[in-house]
Amino acid sequence: MKKIYISMFALSAFFFTGCADDFLDVNQTESISTKDIELFNNDSGATTFVTSIYSKFLDWDMSSFGWIGLASITSDDADKGSSPGDTGTDKDVLDALTYNSSNPSAESTFNAQYDGINRCNQALNIIPKLDKANPALRERLMGEAKFLRAYMYFTLVKCYGGVPIVDHLPNPVSEDDKKMQLTRKTAAEVYAFIEKDLADAIAVLPLKSAYAADEKARASKGAAYALLAKVSLYQKKWQQVVDNANLITGYGLNPSYAKMFRLEGENDIESLFEINGVGSIPARGIQGYSNTQGVRGAGGWGWGFNVPSQSLLNAYEAGDVRKDATIIFRNSTLYDGRVIPSTVENPMYNFKAYSSSYTDAWETDANIKCLRYGEVLLMKAEALNELGQTSNAIPLLNEIRHRAGLGDTPATSQAAVRTAIWKERRVELAFEFDRFFDLVRTGQAKAAFAADGKVFTENKNELFPIPAAFILQANGLSAQNPGY
């Protein structure tokens, strides 16, 4: 089921280029000759264009070190880790919330999303021209591309607020086109664009159950509904959260929280969308994802970054099985028999990034859970509570707690249930790249970071800086975020 994440395919080098040096530096599929297009004018050729989009998620700049720093080390769930003298380029300033507009992780994450968006736009441009491919397949592939583009724009708007909307291949000879695609849109405009892409995707994507066993990792209708529910959550469109959550069928909670993050739990009953990695050659894993977060020091195997904070450890209730499924402790033995000796450098590490079979490999078989049913239940509970339907929210919260080995929540009032849901999101979704954004969207950030010994500057740290290199290229068409 991981074959869609292959690393080598003919058109990769032929059509797709990065945009790290120039935001609009792409090769144009419009210029590809009819003869070249014919090479891909079949089902497998059409599929390859969308496969290349999924493959982007395995890249170092997309899902690995920079993203880990930006979305996890910044939060109160994690500390920089590693050794005191190893900054990880910028992970120390990210941990301290003292980064500026030249921050490498903010820049690499920004550029990586647009590199992926370029791949989506390339696919959406050329797939309709492949008239020898199955029409139903082409329609589904375009739905996948729009889902993936929406996912990338959601990452951008969470991180940076309003950003340029690039919805087609830029015309290199059109100055008006260049200006349009360098001009920042408002966050509301970006959210509207995401919603439109997801509506288009929902109309054509199949249910997960309709995919063959080796294609379960592809975007499905359920994944699109879940992402739309989350997009609505961030905009406080509470009824839309509930409505979209209700349309997600065929999923459930994995009975074992711990096994969900092991090889046996990949693309399980709870999984709506995840990034798939394969450690064996020639398939690909996520570059550096497990290695950079692996246990560091004598008896260890990794760089040791992004370690659990004492604040996170303190958030777990007694008997919560999620604690030991999320945190690797010094002086412990893991589920596969690997011993963590007393000589490792930090007392705790991220268990969700661990690979048993490819422990110290640069590309491992660890996956990243991006959307799962457990979060859907919590999103629906939060929305119902905000709509004043607290009695309907509590059973959903309790479903999550029961799977964790805990009893019913003692919360009964709307305010108490709100706090309980926020707390449950923290321990349920720890190290799944939600905590920083949850603190911001719920208004908890300043107090939560103060309790963790960090200074969160309001009207600044809610967003990361737009890369200074892009601001320079935009030449006045895009303003920097406040405070940078």
Instruction: Give the separation between CA 145 and CA 139, rounded to whole angstroms.
Output: 10
- 146-165 pLDDT, tens digit each: 999 999 999 999 999 999 99
> Is residue 288 assigned to a domain?
no
Confidence of residue 6 (pLDDT cuts 50, 70, 90): very low
Mean pLDDT of the chain: 92
Least confident of 23-27, 53-57, 281-285, 330-334: 23-27
The residue whose two tokens read 């909307």 is 165
Identify whether residues 272 and 379 lie together within a single domain. Answer: yes
* pLDDT exceeds 50 at position 358: yes
Beta strands in 9-151 (DSSP E): 78-81
> Is residue 42 assigned to a domain?
yes
Beta strands in 281-434 (DSSP E): 305-308, 327-329, 332-333, 339-340, 348-350, 368-372
Q: Which residues contact 221 (CB under 8 A, 6 or more apart)?
A: 202, 205, 206, 207, 208
pLDDT value of position 110: 98
Identify whether residues 249 and 174 lie together within a single domain. Answer: no
* pLDDT exceeds 50 at position 21: no
Identify whether residues 132 and 244 lie together within a single domain. Answer: no
* pLDDT exceeds 70 at position 442: yes
Identify whether residues 181 and 73 lie together within a single domain. Answer: yes
Q: What is the mean pLDDT of residues 391-398?
A: 98
Residue 386 burial class via C-beta count within 10 angstroms: exposed 0-12, middle 13-18, buried 19 and up? buried
Instruction: Give the separation between CA 128 and CA 402, rounded to whole angstroms.
Output: 48
* pLDDT exceeds 80 at position 142: yes
Confidence of residue 18 (pLDDT cuts 50, 70, 90): very low
> Is residue 290 assigned to a domain?
no
The half-sphere exposure of 370 on its side-chain side, counting CA atoms within 13 A, is 21
pLDDT value of position 3: 37
The half-sphere exposure of 482 on its side-chain side, counting CA atoms within 13 A, is 7
Instruction: Give the separation between CA 271 and CA 217, rounded to whole angstroms.
Output: 9
Buried b (16+ CB within 10 A) or exposed e, 54-80: bbbbbbbbbbbbbbbbbbbbbbbbbbb
pLDDT value of position 285: 93
Confidence of residue 28 (pLDDT cuts 50, 70, 90): very low
> Is residue 436 assigned to a domain?
yes
> Is residue 221 assigned to a domain?
no
Q: Bridge-partner residues for 329, per DSSP?
A: 348
pLDDT value of position 171: 80
Identify whether residues 114 and 188 lie together within a single domain. Answer: yes
Identify whether residues 337 and 190 lie together within a single domain. Answer: no
* pLDDT exceeds 50 at position 4: no
Q: Bridge-partner residues for 297, per DSSP?
A: 344
Confidence of residue 176 (pLDDT cuts 50, 70, 90): confident
Identify whether residues 324 and 437 lie together within a single domain. Answer: yes
- 99-117 pLDDT, tens digit each: 999 999 999 999 999 999 9
pLDDT value of position 34: 67
Identify whether residues 162 and 260 lie together within a single domain. Answer: no
Identify whether residues 470 and 420 lie together within a single domain. Answer: no
Identify whether residues 152 and 30 lie together within a single domain. Answer: yes
Identify whether residues 171 and 262 lie together within a single domain. Answer: no
Residue 7 tokens read as 């690393």
Q: Which domain holds residue 257?
A: 238-279+298-442
pLDDT value of position 170: 79
Least confident of 27-36, 53-62, 121-130, 441-450: 27-36
Q: Cα-flanking dihedrals φ and ψ of residue 160, to 5°?
A: -120, -5
> Is residue 168 assigned to a domain?
yes
Identify whether residues 22 and 112 lie together within a single domain. Answer: yes
* pLDDT exceeds 80 at position 20: no
Instruction: Give the separation between CA 390 and CA 421, rounded to whole angstroms.
Output: 11
Count of domains for the chain:
2
Instruction: Give the separation between CA 255 and CA 265, rounded to whole angstroms.
Output: 10
* pLDDT exceeds 50 at position 55: yes
Confidence of residue 16 (pLDDT cuts 50, 70, 90): very low
Question: Can you give the CATH number for the domain in which 361 is found?
Answer: 1.25.40.390
Instruction: Give the separation between CA 93 and CA 423, rounded to whole angstroms.
Output: 26
> Is residue 233 assigned to a domain?
no
- Of the candidates 359, 362, 355, the one whose C-alpha atom is nearest the C-alpha of residue 287 is 362
> Is residue 211 assigned to a domain?
no
* pLDDT exceeds 80 at position 74: yes
Instruction: Give the separation between CA 294 and CA 300, rounded to whole angstroms.
Output: 7
